[in-house]
Amino acid sequence: MPQPPVIAVMQTFRTALLKRERAAAMRLVNAYGEAYRRLLPQIEALQAELEVIDPKLWKRYKLQRLESLKKQIEYEINEYAIYADRELTLGAREAIGQAGKEAKIITQATLPGIAPLDARIMQSWNRLPAESVETLLGFLADGSPLRENLKMLGSTTAAVVEKRLTESIALGYNPRKIARMIRDDLGQSLTWSLRTARTTQIYSYREAARANYIANDHVVKGWIWRCARGERTCMSCIAMDGTRHSLEERLNDHHNGRCFAEPETLTYRELGIDIDQPAPLVTEDAKAWFEKQPEALQRQMMGNGRFEAWKAGEFELGQLTKNSTDAVWGEIRVETPLKELVTQQKAA
């Protein structure tokens, strides 16, 4: 099925945004790797001490090595958090700037396609200054949940490691296993920062674009949810694809979400131009796309339980999305658990 030109334009810009995000992720991984290498001697020393110390003695007096490790973890992760803060801020500002430029191009691609008329319409486009958009979004401001989480990253990680160590020794785990678990706990901070960096960039881009659409509501009247279609696409995004929204609504995708808002423009007649416009190309939504996929891919994307319930007619694809609340991003969209889907069916 032929796609409207705007879809190709959006895919190009999305690819470029994700490429910038991957470059930022590599820089974060390298920075975290340096912090971890500085912590490694402490972890190895702790493991060696655990191999010879009496667990009862540790329970009574605690390990001096643990206190030292906790302080070092907090220091190193806080230093990393400062770097991550700079990386997130620069990435967000770059995304905001790009969105300001690209929102106009995407909107023009959405117009009916009579070039002289479309160009005349876009002459009235208002581009918001990037600084104004950053202030408007607010999530990079001091005291925001994102900034507060970054400030607490070191102490939070150190507390997780202490709790893990205390429980593991009480359970009599092998020192090598304990050291491995500590490494895993340290890795959670990297995972969080990578997820946050990606979400921050994409969120910044989407919200900056929406701010520009709002500033041009004489051309743009709303937006349509569009998702990436592939084996890694979550079913919440499949369910939301093709839904129409007002400019006041935010595209509240989940963490690491790759969805974008396609602007919906006024018709020529709504814009005061007395002319019939070409019939728009119809875009197949992701639910229709999903229904055409091989059963193996459908099962992989849904999971066995949901797939079997869906095939049995226990719910519709549109029910696979629900609202949730995130401490940083507020209301976000997530997949509906199978238990809730079945309960909804029974209630109906």
Q: Structural domain boundaries of the chain?
A: 5-223
**Which residue is associated with the tokens 């939301």?**
240
242 band by pLDDT with thresholds 50, 70 and 90: very high
Kind of pairing, strands 220-226 and 244-245? Answer: antiparallel
Q: For residues 260 and 312, what is the distance between their CA atoms, to the nearest angstrom?
A: 32
Average of per-residue pLDDT values in the chain: 88
Check pLDDT > 70 for residue 113: yes
Residue range 213-223: mean pLDDT, rounded: 95
Residue range 317-323: mean pLDDT, rounded: 95
Single-letter residue type at 345: Q
- Which residue, 139, 136, 145, 177, is CA-closest to 47? 177
Check pLDDT > 90 for residue 273: no
The answer to whether the CB of 122 falls within 8 A of the CB of 29 is: no
Helix-then-strand count for the chain, H and E: 13, 5
pLDDT value at position 33? Answer: 93
Check pLDDT > 60 for residue 348: no
What pLDDT, in 10s, does the model give residues 45-68?
Answer: 878 877 777 666 655 546 677 778
Tokens at 66, concatenated: 């643990």
Q: Which residue has the higher pLDDT, 246 or 131?
A: 246
Between helix 64-110 and helix 5-50 the angle, nearest 10°, is: 180
Check pLDDT > 90 for residue 317: yes
3-state secondary structure 142-160: CCCHHHHHHHCHHHHHHHH
